[in-house]
A = this chain, B = another copy of it.
Amino acid sequence: MKTIVVIYSGGMDSFTLLNDAQEKNYRSLALSFDYGQRHTKELDYAKSFCATQSIDHKVIDISNIKQLLKGSALTDKLPIPHGHYEDKRMQIMVVPNRNMIFLSLAVSYALSSSASEVWFGAHQGDRIIYPDCRPDFIEKMDQLSSRTWSIGIQAPFLSLNKTQILSKGIELGLDYSQTWTCYEGEDRACGKCGACVERLEAFAANRIVDPLEYR
């Protein structure tokens, strides 16, 4: 059986990716990071889902890396901008080089657990503001990891947008009440941050109602 490491945030994209791997009967090792994000609500959703599905799951606390970072509203106490995810104002949500850090750690884990690939959920909408979600970046990371360690790096949703990812999840019969997207960590999603706006658009485009509660 093929074993893969899936970087799993607890959000919609990586949730769909993890389920896609399960559907293909791969053995998934789900991997989440606590990197000092403003809240860990997504991680609670990730833990809960893996526990109910008996998926092997590790949450690694690397929050000390905050000492190296600055200027991101994802980790600092800066106001979260409202508006569209692809808006230039969302630049403030970038944690510099986050994906290279996550992928490096996932490759180490793959090497230590005889997994042959690392999967992560970068998609078309990410690339506007995240340079380390772009096809060229992912292709080069894959080449580097494959040549050095024979571990492939795959981003199967790279050519899909959020609406298409959700369509795929609906086909798989997934329950998106088991995911968290909002940048705020309140009881109910805010509906106004870039992540909520993008999520709500994807549900509207698929003509279904988001099962999450909004303020």
Contact = CB atoms under 8 A, between A and B. Distances in A.
Interface string A103-114: 111011101110
Interface string A137-162: 10011011101110000000000000
Interface stretch (A11-19, A42-50, A59-67): A59-67
B112 A69 contact: yes
Q: Is the interface of A mostly helix, strand, loop or mixed?
A: helix
B104 A97 contact: yes
A168 interface: no
Given A96-B112, A104-B100, A68 B60 contact: yes
A71 to B, nearest CB: 7
A121 B101 CA distance: 20
B68 A64 contact: no
A115 to B, nearest CB: 11
A121 B64 CA distance: 23
B61 A64 contact: yes
Contacts of A98: 108
Contacts of A62: 62, 64-65
A21 B158 CA distance: 40
Nearest to A69: B112
A70 B65 CA distance: 22
A82 interface: no
A131 interface: yes
A38 interface: no
Given A58-B68, A100-B148, A140-B144, 7 more contacts: A31-B68, A60-B67, A60-B68, A65-B108, A97-B148, A101-B105, A132-B148
